[in-house]
Amino acid sequence: MQRFRLLVEYDGRPFSGWQRQAGTPSVQETLEEAARKIAPHERIVVHGSGRTDAGVHARGQVAHIDLEREISADNLQGALNYHTKGWPVSVLKSEVVPDSFHARFSAKKRHYIYRIINRRARLTFDKGLAWHVKTPLDADAMQDAAQVLVGQHDFTTFRHIHCQAKSPVKTVDYIHVERQGDELLVKVGALSFLHHQIRSFTGTLQLVGLGKWTKADLKAALEARDRTALGLNAPSDGLYFDRVEYDCDQAAAPTGPTSMA
């Protein structure tokens, strides 16, 4: 048996999310069905480093898969990309790793990027790939307020009511809000996140950017530890699972300008 680590990019638009669900297409199922064509007699499971919701994208999701069949890492990449044709999923990298590596449990830090396009005109290329906010946003105010969320907190306010995590306490390592022309990037890193945490952060920070909320309002919402104190949940369109870090490497970053990091 060999364990392979895969770096996976996907456009989340046609998927009901990462996780396999009966009756709707998922990224996990798309990869597992492709792997089944390569090793039809094996029990195939593709383990992701984290789930993404319906419509959420990935530049650098990491997954692992075990195969009895002998195949090189390069051939596995080529075969998976061949058999996922027709779906916007692509294996950017494939490598053999020790059995001790686990895409989910070995992960030390997860990095997400949320893209907002802040202009009056409708989106063309980026429809479904960014949140379109027409009113000018104050990125500096958003960056300043966001620092309230950094560190260890009870994030009940920023957690979906169906979140399955045992505790609402998480540690956010950083949040950076940056403007690049008419695009705003909200970059967030942590060991792990609650369900909808980044979308809840971004939706509420957008209220700060519009001048409707102050930094103090954001702090009060956090301290309320109450989902009803949430300002707004941002749509899935702008969210990208950017990369995962593991102890065994510097960073599992996708190369190239396709990474927005």
CB of 84 vs a second copy, minimal distance in Å: 8
Q: Which is nearer to a second copy, 2 or 90 (CB)?
A: 90
Q: Which parts of this chain interact with a second copy (CB under 8 A)?
A: 9-11, 57, 77-78, 81, 84-85, 88-93, 117, 119-127, 129, 180-183, 255-259
Q: Which is nearer to a second copy, 23 or 257 (CB)?
A: 257
The span from the CA of 93 to the CA of 173, in Å, is 27
Can 182 be counted among the known catalytic residues? Answer: no
- Phi then psi for residue 80, to 5 deg, are -65, -40
CB of 107 vs a second copy, minimal distance in Å: 22
Q: Is 174 annotated as a binding residue?
A: no
The span from the CA of 126 to the CA of 13, in Å, is 11
Q: Which is nearer to a second copy, 9 or 242 (CB)?
A: 9
Contact 104, 143 (CB under 8 A): no
Q: Which is nearer to a second copy, 40 or 256 (CB)?
A: 256
CB of 182 vs a second copy, minimal distance in Å: 3
CB of 125 vs a second copy, minimal distance in Å: 5
User: Which of the following is catalytic: 53, 126, 144, 154?
Assistant: 53
The annotation places the binding site for substrate at: 112
The annotation places the binding site at: 112
Known catalytic residues are 53
